[in-house]
Chains A and B, each alone.
Chain A
Amino acid sequence: MPLTGRAFVLQVLNGISFGALLFLLSSGFQLIFGLMRIVNLAHGSFYLVGGYIGLSVLRASGNFWLAVGAAALGVAAIGLVVELGLLRRLRGQAMPEVLLTVGLSLIFADLSLARWGGDPQLLPGPPGLRSSVHIGSVTYPTFRLFVLALGALVAVGLWLLLSRTRIGAVVRAGADDQEMVMALGVNIRAVFAGAFTIGALLAGIAGIVGGVFLGLYPGADGEILLFALVVVILGGLGSLQGAMIGSLLVGLIDAFGRELVPSLSYFLLFAPMALVLIFRPRGLFGKTAS
């Protein structure tokens, strides 16, 4: 089925805005991995729980932005507790750390089901962003454009934070050589806790944004985690640039896949993943193994 020009533009916009959502999620994932070498498989749960917290606050207060704040802070708090209470005990043991996050994701999934039920829920967007705008001949929901802008904002913000500030310098140094950073008198444990918390916070924001445009339901955690992992496998573990390019690629592939071959759109994700794994197993922006 050939695409008309309008449909093409629409899918490009869909792809980029979904990519922006994926970036919100995968940038936190990458931040955590880049510094702490933890593959956080509870990231999808952080996303889903963030969305659900947002839903509850939105229902109670009617204020979308308050809900965003609550989702971000709520999930950040959960992240902090997980890092200080559990992950810290396993520091440096890559596999047990990952498996711990797998166990946690099972717990989060079940508790969310108990608290918020099994029915899919779609969050209403904020009042100012519920309309659509015209871009050429295409009418497009404002909220999706907002997500696109948010993704860009987070990208620029993270880049500035990492490359232009003292905290960023410590994080980059910590990713390269923890012992040296500790010897220089930096409290690396606090930096770790901070990075994990910010990663969780970003996932919480992604959750409420995703709740508006994809909806929340049991299983959404695993689905979004798959997308985040494909992003990371494409872009390369630990690379923020990789997360950006990977998010855009996956967003676009998914948008066009859903349009052209709906039943096989997941299979389309496989193709770039396979190519990257065969020719660049470390991902497009992953550094080669030492």
Chain B
Amino acid sequence: MNTPRLRLRRPSDPGRVLPSALKLGGLAAVLALLVSLPFLTGSFYVSLGTQALYLGLFALSINLLAGYGGMITLGQAGVSGIAGYGLAIFLTRFNLPLGVAMVAALAVTVVAAAFLGLLAMRTSGVYFLMVTLAEGMVIWGIAQRWNTLTGGDNGMRGVNRPGFAAVYWKYYYFTLVVVAACTALIALIVRSPFGLTLRGIRESEGRMGPLGYNVALHKLVAFTVAGAFAGVSGMLLAMDNNFFSPASVHLKASADGLLMSILGGMGTLTGAFVGSGVFVFITNYVSGYITRWPTLLGLIFVLVILFARDGIVGAWNRWVWAPLLRRVGQAEQAELAEEAAREVASGLLSGPPASVATKGGPQ
């Protein structure tokens, strides 16, 4: 099977040793910090950490679709909401044990995501965005109106944390383990031939078909897989709050996730968590000082789109990492880093233009 001609970065490359050592060191330091967080600070910040972790996973699921596959979605909160509601319904209405309820909710989410993906997979670009937005809002509408099943506006209580992780810091570790495992899985997926094909679809959907790739099928699988991860994050959210409500399914929640993933840096694994960290900081901390923090978030959204499409990680690669590599004589690696930063921004521009039937003139 042919792999697309993307540049593969091999660790055996001699010029690669120092940068990858630095990166590994960085990763280890971040992991160490995450593990020691409950020892360093109190329950407030640890809970914020928990939130940043599962929201990061949510943003990462959007990133998997948008950053790697060029499918920018505004309905992902709908998908994660199916898992959140599924868990709540299986727990409180069917009285299933937590483990069984989680598996069942995840299964339902995967099936639903496959169905939603089936409807969306033949569209792309802004049309894909519109379809996913509509799908997400229909799910929100059902959550809102089907009172007997979902409790309507009041939401659902009784989504208890696992017995072994009821205390805040234990739940933090539980979330950390689950999110780390999911992130590792996603890292494997984006580096696999499947992930490379996805990137190919992002760069040029029209060419991947003639090259022998089943584009629609790849998009469907990506949508379903990303939906499963969004589902995991939805369940973590439900258990964290012991509550799930239509607000978590709403378009706003999907837009928040997209904001996190763009703000952090599309098409990067770290970006999602950087974005969720900033988001959690603004919604929980800055909101104590600025009443109109949702306006601030919207403003950040607008400014990022106008001026900083490669996000924080992109800016880091461009302004800190690449110059650093140049200084230690790794010019080639520096170029790769800059290229990666450009690639991040280009992910937002990719996909066919929104034309319906222009005469092929430049858009």
Contacts and interface: CB of A to CB of B under 8 A. Distances in A.
Interface in B286-310: 291-292, 294-295, 297-302, 305-306, 309
Contact of B363 (A92, A281, A288): A92
Interface residues of B, number: 61
Contacts of B133: 41, 225-226, 229
A100 B306 contact: yes
B317 to A, nearest CB: 20
A99 B298 contact: no
A237 B291 CA distance: 38
Contacts of B359: 176-177, 290
Given A90-B306, A98-B126, A110-B294, A37 B354 contact: yes
Contacts of A278: 118-119
Contacts of A287: 356-357
A184 interface: no
A290 B206 CA distance: 12
Given A39-B129, A99-B305, A177-B358, A277 B120 contact: yes
Nearest to B122: A281
B235 to A, nearest CB: 23
Interface in B307-363: 309, 348-351, 353-363
A226 B357 contact: no
Main secondary structure of the interface of A (DSSP, over half): helix
A103 interface: yes
Interface residues of A, number: 64
Contact of B125 (A94, A114, A273): A94
B213 to A, nearest CB: 19
Interface stretch (A19-27, A57-65, A158-166, A258-266): A258-266
B252 interface: yes
Given A110-B292, A226-B137, A273-B134, A99 B301 contact: yes
B258 A226 contact: no
Interface in A59-91: 86, 89-90
Contact of A106 (B118, B301, B362): B301
A277 B305 contact: no
A238 B356 contact: yes
Given A96-B349, A98-B129, A103 B298 contact: yes
Contacts of B259: 103
A33 B305 contact: no
B145 interface: yes
Contact of A107 (B122, B302, B362): B302
A178 B361 contact: yes
Contact of A277 (B122, B145, B350): B122
Nearest to B148: A263
Interface in B237-283: 250-252, 255, 258-259, 262
A165 B290 CA distance: 50
Nearest to B145: A263
Contact of A286 (B305, B353, B356, B362): B356
B302 A229 contact: no
Contacts of A98: 126, 129
Given A226-B138, A237-B127, A262-B145, A37 B361 contact: no
A41 B251 CA distance: 11
Contacts of B363: 37, 92, 94
B74 interface: yes
A93 B141 contact: no
B262 A99 contact: yes
B146 interface: yes
Given A176-B359, A266-B145, A278-B119, A106 B252 contact: yes
Contacts of A94: 125-126, 351, 353-354, 363
A135 interface: no
Interface in A234-290: 236-238, 262-267, 269-270, 273-274, 277-278, 281-282, 286-290
Given A98-B126, A278-B119, A111 B295 contact: yes
B131 interface: yes
Contacts of B250: 219, 222
A200 interface: no
A220 interface: no
Nearest to A287: B357
Interface in B114-156: 118-120, 122-123, 125-127, 129-131, 133-135, 137-138, 141-142, 144-149
A219 B141 CA distance: 11
A102 B348 contact: no
A277 B119 contact: yes
A39 B119 CA distance: 19
Given A110-B294, A232-B130, A96 B348 contact: yes
Contacts of B83: none
B72 interface: yes
A274 B222 CA distance: 19
A89 B149 CA distance: 46
B142 A264 contact: yes
Contacts of A93: 349
A122 interface: no
B134 A179 contact: no
A118 B63 CA distance: 33
27 contacts: A37-B354, A37-B355, A38-B354, A41-B74, A89-B306, A94-B351, A95-B72, A95-B125, A95-B129, A100-B305, A103-B302, A104-B298, A105-B255, A106-B294, A107-B295, A111-B295, A114-B292, A223-B137, A229-B130, A229-B134, A237-B130, A263-B145, A274-B119, A277-B120, A281-B127, A282-B356, A289-B357
